[in-house]
Structure 1
Amino acid sequence: MRTNFDFAPYRRSTVGFDRLFDLLESGTRAEGSEGYPPFDIARDGEDSYRITLAIAGFRPDDIEIVAHQNQLIVTGKPREDDEKRDYLHRGIAMRAFERRFQLADFIEVGDAMFEDGLLTIALRRVVPEAMKPRRIAIASGSAAHRLEAPAGTHQAA
């Protein structure tokens, strides 16, 4: 059972978290086609992930993968010649779909592989050097250096 949560009080007292609240609110809404196609998200390592979608009946030409900003969009459109067949029973769901995945910051989409009706998309977290923590050396006693004023400025004596 899903319950709707009101984020309005939190929105009023925070700045810059609009996107986070939008994601939380959209995650609580039920959508009709949310179950198709089924997918798995797996962690392969500390900074590597894999999304696998079960899309039996599709060919690689029928699928489009687009990575834009922090979103991955996988779209599938069935072939028109397949819909002209006269089926006695149609148990393999092969309908058009669009599946969206919200990616965290610094997640890059790698390669995609289609095999045995499964589409696998590799993801990797790549944190820029400027964003990684760095250790600052601490000087002590007489070895400590004074901060010098930038060139062109004068210090009062």
Structure 2
Amino acid sequence: MRTNLDFSPLFRSSIGFDRMLNALEAASRIETIDNWPPYDIVKSGEDDYRIAMAVAGFSQDELAITQEQNMLVVSGQKANAEDVQYLHRGIAGRSFQRRFELADHVKVVGAGLVNGLLTIDLKREIPEEMKPRQIEISTDMALPKAEMKQIEAEKQAA
């Protein structure tokens, strides 16, 4: 049983959560779940991730990996073998496109295809200016004195 949720009250009362709310709304709209090709998502370190996707029968030239802002798109397009006549076709060779929503500052650092398993390595790289930093506290720091400017001077009678 699928329940449709209305996220419009959250859009009206929150600021800066647009991407998260859009992702929740998009996830609730998914009607058919295509489980092909099968894949795993593994957290291999504090900021390291790996996607392993079973793409047996696809060559490196028939696969494409594209990162567009916070979206990773993996697609496969099988080359047409027009001169082959199948008596039985049990190996899936259909075209596919799989999308992965990435968090901020997650970048693809490498990809490889070995024995029909496509692996994509990801790393979250937080910029230095966004990392927490320790501020040193000094005890003998002299506060700068503000310059005092005289705005009006009393006029003395002569």
The TM-score with structure 2 as length reference comes to: 0.85
Corresponding residue number in structure 1 for 2:127: 128
Displacement of 1:121 in angstroms is: 0.3
Look up the SS of the partner of 2:23 in the other structure.
helix
| Distance in 2 (alpha carbons) for counterparts of 1:54 and 1:73 | 15
**Mapping for residues 138-157 of structure 1, pairs under 5 Å:** 138-140=137-139, 143-146=140-143, 148=144, 155-156=147-148
Corresponding residue number in structure 2 for 1:53: 53
Corresponding residue number in structure 1 for 2:106: 107
| Distance in 2 (alpha carbons) for counterparts of 1:100 and 1:138 | 47
Which protein shows a greater Rg?
A: 2
Corresponding residue number in structure 2 for 1:63: 63
Corresponding residue number in structure 2 for 1:86: 85
1:75-100 superposed Cα distances (whole Å, 9 cap, x missing partner): 1100111x552222222211111111
Residues 108 and 123 in structure 1, CA contact (< 8 A), matched pair in contact too = yes
| Distance in 2 (alpha carbons) for counterparts of 1:31 and 1:62 | 27
Corresponding residue number in structure 2 for 1:97: 96
Look up the SS of the partner of 2:32 in the other structure.
coil
Bigger shift: residues 33-42 or 57-66 = 33-42
Residues 139 and 145 in structure 1, CA contact (< 8 A), matched pair in contact too = no
- Deviation beyond 6 Å, 4+ runs, structure 1: none
**Mapping for residues 3-22 of structure 1, pairs under 5 Å:** 3-22=3-22
CA RMSD of superposed structures (Å): 1.9
Identity of aligned residues (%): 48
Look up the SS of the partner of 2:40 in the other structure.
strand
Instruction: Report the AA paired with residue 120 of structure 1.
Output: T
Unaligned runs of 5+ in 2: 150-158
Look up the SS of the partner of 1:108 in the other structure.
strand
Displacement of 1:31 in angstroms is: 4.1
| Distance in 2 (alpha carbons) for counterparts of 1:90 and 1:155 | 87
1:138–1:2 CA distance, 2 compared to 1 (3 A): farther
Displacement of 1:39 in angstroms is: 1.0
Instruction: Report the AA paired with residue 147 of structure 2.
Output: Q
| Distance in 2 (alpha carbons) for counterparts of 1:125 and 1:19 | 18
1:87-137 superposed Cα distances (whole Å, 9 cap, x missing partner): 222222111111111111111101111011110000011111111100112
